[in-house]
Amino acid sequence: MNTATLAAGLMAISLQAATPLILGSLGEIIIEKSGVLNLGIEGTMFLGAFVGFFVGYFTDSASLGIITAVIVGALLGLIMAVLTVSLGLDQHVSGIGITFLATEIGLFLYQALYHATGNPPHLAPLKAVKIAFLNQIPMLGVMLKQQGLTYLALMGIPVIHTLVFNSKFGLRLRAVGEKAVAADVAGINVIQTRYKALILGSALMGLGGGFLSVAQSGFVTPGIIGGRGWICIALVVFGNWKPVRVVLGALLFGGVGALQYYLQTVGLGISYEYFLMLPYILTMAAMALSRGKTVYPAEFLKAYQQRR
Amino acid sequence: MLEKLLSHPKVFAPLFALFITGIISVVFITIAGANPGQVFFYMLVGPFTSRLGLLEILAKTTPLILTGLAVVVAFNAGYYNIGGEGQLYAGALVATLAGFVLGQLPPLLLIPSLICLGFIGGAAWSAVNAGLKKIGWDEVVTTIMTNIIMILLVTALLNDFLQDPTSHSAQSLSIPVNAFYPLLAERSRVHMGLIVALVSTALVALLLNKLTLGFEIRTVGKNPSAARCAGINVNLTVLLAALLSGGLAGIAGVGEVLGVHHRLISTLSPGYGFTGIVVAKLSGLNPWITILSAVFLAILDVGSQVTNLETGVPIQLAGIIKWTFLLSLLAGQPTFNKLRRSLR
């Protein structure tokens, strides 16, 4: 195939591969802007993927599966909020705990149900949304055969940007994240704001997981999230907590993922694990090179005691 | 009387944790369609009912003590090393390669050398994370990524260069006999690594409690600014803690290669690095108590295998119990405070 078609194809796959990263990162931005580090993202995406898949499988409704994934995400966000915001537990340990707990729960449910159903369950993946006429365009057409959720994620970018930077909620969010005491004095309920941020953000993460299992692949494996949650955390910092920049990073990573699939099929004669390493090595190289000014939200990682 | 007992926070937290963990376990056991009473029996009593069970507990305790110590050292310095898994593999990789190269040496020379080299391997891998922390990158994210990279690297190498030509799976040739850890009990998997682990515990306890560096580590962990004012080189201390932490995890990897499998395999560790976090937090970051929490978690691991054999409940039950217990135990203190305040 000629390079132009190849390029279009790669870009199409990049968009698809970037979708979970976009969703997860947007969720993490909201949460971190309020001053909380949510390390539970990997586990949230994982459990969202698993539970969403099983609900979709047993009810034969992919949409129900996706909705469940979102609810699971929101619930995990709620638990994280209880631990870190209300009880003031260390955010690192809580997040890691939630990730591992959610992962173990997901694997447990998979083992328990898989044995019941016998064969690895498969769900027909959601079909790509064809925007009539637009996909007749020779080159761009290939790129525009994306999942409905991908378009949703892309539309989510300006929505989240507006939410965080131009809305009342966003103002409260950022106030709580920069100077919680001042926000509290001004009458903003710090606890409630952070709860909302965690629940909303985690819901997006659950959606990201649901995308991977229900929309994209149609089955679940233990490695389905494959570390994307962690990459989201790095992307959020690289993008300075700005939705547009973070999403550009997500697209870049989607591109690496697409490249990785391509290189595997080309068969360079070396184990595919080297390709799987690419995204992470790329992330770490980018980390090593970016000594620039990343300004964390001022209240990042600090628990807050609501004044009586 | 009960009220007086419960009103002591140190009693409340563990009981609260047991309560929550109990409820959650029962929920998941029921989902799996098993009888909770039976499951708890197999889980907690099962491992003790056979010689093999008891020895397996010791065999699993060994790496957990070491990865637990790794986390104890790191967390004491306020350095969240989640990279124990990758550092374990790094140590195992170095020890395997060195074992092939140096295999002709007598065991008395070879084994200590391999332990040291494994330590260096784990420490070197941890240095990557420490370096990134120096330029401002949270070590939690970087260590998780380096975990993934190292495990993939080991798997890839096992598929490419290190693969045992006679087998089709991701494993290496058997290491030279001279490098085998002696067994401590016949027909079991309890090996010299247990001694290594116990000695390491003593050394870490000595470091943290009696040596200046240990004091500096603990101070930096509790209050970095105060440490700086007191003249402690915070960056250097954190770096040393990170290196030591990585090295200890590396030794755990060495033990699994030299003592258990006698070759490098891609499935060397069923999450020992991560369980080490639970071990360390449960022990309150105290080296000696780490032995006890390592045993406890080993019992859970072995118990879940017994349970799985007898009742079919997935082995992940152990994982659910571990992490629920940890989170609810940590939640115990603040919950206690909140309850006390609202009951006033």
Q: Supply the ipTM of this predicted assembly.
A: 0.87
Chain A interface, mutation test: which of B24, B138, B333, most A Cβ atoms within 10 Å? B138
Given B142, B156, B331, which is nearest A273 (Cβ)? B156
State the Cα–Cα distance between residues B133 and B79, nearest whole angstrom: 10
pLDDT of residue A140: 60
% of chain B exceeding 90 in pLDDT: 57
**What residues of A are in contact with residue B276 (Cβ under 8 Å)?**
none
Name every chain A residue with its beta carbon within 8 A of the beta carbon of B140.
39, 92, 96
pTM given for the model = 0.88
CA–CA separation, B318 vs B300, rounded Å?
A: 6
- Which chain B residues are closer than 8 Å to A87 by Cβ? 331, 334-335, 338
Contacts A98 to B, Cβ<8 Å: 327
The pLDDT value given to residue A110:
86
What lies within 8 Å, CB to CB, of A111 at 6+ separation is: B314, B315, B316
Q: Higher pLDDT residue, B316 or B9?
A: B316
The Cα angle at residue A308 between residues A303 and B4, in degrees rounded to 5: 85
Q: Measuring CA to CA, how many Å separate A69 from each of A31, A78, A261, A269?
A: 18, 14, 26, 38
- Residues B225 and A231: their CA atoms lie apart, in Å, by 31
Instruction: Of A83, A270, A300, A247, give the one whose Cα is nearest residue B328.
Output: A83
Q: Taking CA B100 as the corner, what is the angle to CA B98 and CA B101, rounded to the nearest 5 degrees?
A: 65
List the one residue out of A207, A175, A254, A190 whose CA is nearest residue A28. A207
CB contact under 8 A, B141 and A234: yes
Which phi-psi region, left, alpha or beta, contains residue B285 (left: φ > 0; alpha: ψ -120 to 50)? left
Q: Which pLDDT value is given to residue B206? A: 95
Does B145 touch chain A if contact means CB atoms closer than 8 Å?
yes
Residue A289 and residue B86: Cα distance in Å, rounded?
Answer: 23
pLDDT in tens, B252-308: 999 999 999 888 998 899 889 999 999 999 999 999 999 999 999 999 999 998 998
What's the full length of chain A, in residues? Answer: 308
Whose tokens are 């992330």? That residue is A283
Contact A287 B142 (CB under 8 A): yes
Here the tokens at position B60 are 């699993």
A-chain residues near B156 (CB < 8 A) = 270-271, 273-274, 277
Per-residue pLDDT band for B8 (boundaries 50, 70, 90) equals confident
Nearest CA in chain B to A115: B312
- pLDDT tens figures, B148-187: 999 999 988 888 777 777 777 777 778 777 778 888 777 7
Kindly determine whether residue A291 and residue B28, on different chains, have CB atoms separated by under 8 Å.
Answer: no
CA A201/CA B286 separation, integer angstroms: 36
A–B interface: beta-carbon pairs under 8 A = 121
pLDDT score recorded for residue B297: 93
pLDDT for position B67: 97
Would you state the structure tokens that stand for residue B86, as one six-digit string?
Answer: 């990758």
| Cβ-defined contact of A276 to B317 (cutoff 8 Å) | no
| Among B138, B277, B312, beta carbon nearest to A96 | B277
Amino acid symbol at A298: A
The CA-based angle B139-A17-A140, given to 5 degrees, is 140
| Nearest by CB: A93 against B146, B155, B281 | B281
What residue of A is the nearest CA neighbor of B333? A87
Q: pLDDT per residue over B74-126, tens digit each?
A: 999 999 999 999 999 999 999 999 999 988 888 888 999 999 999 999 999 99
pLDDT at position A291 is 64
Q: Does B334 reach chain A within 8 Å, measured CB to CB?
A: yes
Residue B210 has pLDDT above 90, yes or no: yes
pLDDT of residue B310: 87
From the list B80, B277, B330, the residue facing A89 with the nearest CB is B330
Residue B107, min C-alpha distance to chain A (Å): 34
CA distance A3 to A139: 11
- Check if the beta carbon of residue B152 is closer than 8 Å to that of residue B265: no
pLDDT in tens, A8-18: 777 888 888 89
pLDDT at B72: 97
Q: B148 vs A233: CB contact, 8 Å cut-off?
A: no
Whether B141 sits inside 8 A of A280 (CB atoms) is no
pLDDT at residue number B16: 92
pLDDT over 70 percentage in chain B: 98
Residue segments in chain A with a per-residue pLDDT below the cut of 70:
1, 115-146, 267-270, 291-294, 307-308
Torsional class of B137: left (φ above 0), alpha (ψ -120 to 50), beta (otherwise): beta
CA distance A136 to chain B (A): 41
